[in-house]
Homo-oligomer: A and B are copies of this chain.
Amino acid sequence: MTQVYDKVALIGLGLIASSMFWAMKRGGLASEVRGFARSSETRETARKIGLCDVVCDSLKEAVKDADLVVLCVPVGVMGDVAKEIAPFLKAGATVSDVGSVKNAVIDAVGPHLPEGVEFIPAHPLAGTEHSGPEAGFAELFDNRFTVLVPVEGSEKKAISKLRELWEGMGANVEEMDADHHDLVLAVTSHAPHLIAYTMVGVADDLSRVTDSEVIKYSAAGFRDFTRIAASDPTMWRDVFLNNKEATLEILGRFTEELFALQRAIRTGDGEHLFDYFTHTRAIRRGIIEAGQDTDAPNFGREKK
């Protein structure tokens, strides 16, 4: 139990913020965590379940004494929130965020922050398909990666402190620049989500196969796609609108490869298909060896 910050403010109380709160409590990482959410319903839920030491009804109240302010709102509103909190930030405070894209957040937030406030963008690569204040749990970040994306002029000491917080919440911490972050995430997260959304949308919209058939026979593979296609629509709309270039680049590569495989199917090129399908097994093995997924059949969701 090592306290890293005295006072922390979480702005936005969804899956990530609520998990951060429980993880900070578990690790004794902050003496007081204040939370703010725009919706009064969310604040009420937070109060009911004991989420945050203090739930505030205004941004000002939440951030004014905070040593660390973490923006946990959809990427599309980060700039507006930064503008609103700027006048109330304590000198020497650190502002961070948990947005899934970094270039756009840096562009939107950076200009609003006053001198004497450290801005250290961050992105915990963890989540579930559930959203909202009740979706969080302390273990969400355990053995997952959090990427820090320091901007020009970020103070070394402030970076170390934020790193210490994330490590205290269970995460492995890496640093990279915003361009590389946005490309890596386009591959490991944004393109896969768009593809999953697309496949589920297609299945839902066929005239010759009913939804009830899709549902009944989903265990043959389809159901894996529906999990990530059940993620929060606002968050994902903002991700795609704010990581356009990298996402479109990866989707372009994806389509090219898909067309090559379709062609192999059409022409009956079994060797091409077999080689391709053999190759992709290695990545799965790597992920399991790195402790990033379970080797249990079907993710262990069924009894064995």
Contacts and interface: CB of A to CB of B under 8 A. Distances in A.
B215 A292 contact: yes
Q: Is the interface of A mostly helix, strand, loop or mixed?
A: helix
How many copies the complex holds: the figure is: 2
A257 to B, nearest CB: 5
Interface stretch (A35-43, A112-120, A187-195): A187-195
A152 interface: no
Given A221-B192, A258-B195, A236 B273 contact: yes
Contacts of A90: none
Interface size class of A (residues with CB under 8 A): 35 or more
Contacts of A127: 220
A221 B240 contact: no
A283 to B, nearest CB: 5
A265 B241 contact: yes
A187 B214 CA distance: 8
A226 B96 CA distance: 32
Given A199-B191, A221-B189, A265-B247, A273 B241 contact: yes
Contacts of A91: none
B304 A237 contact: no
B144 A219 contact: yes
A222 interface: yes
A254 B188 contact: no
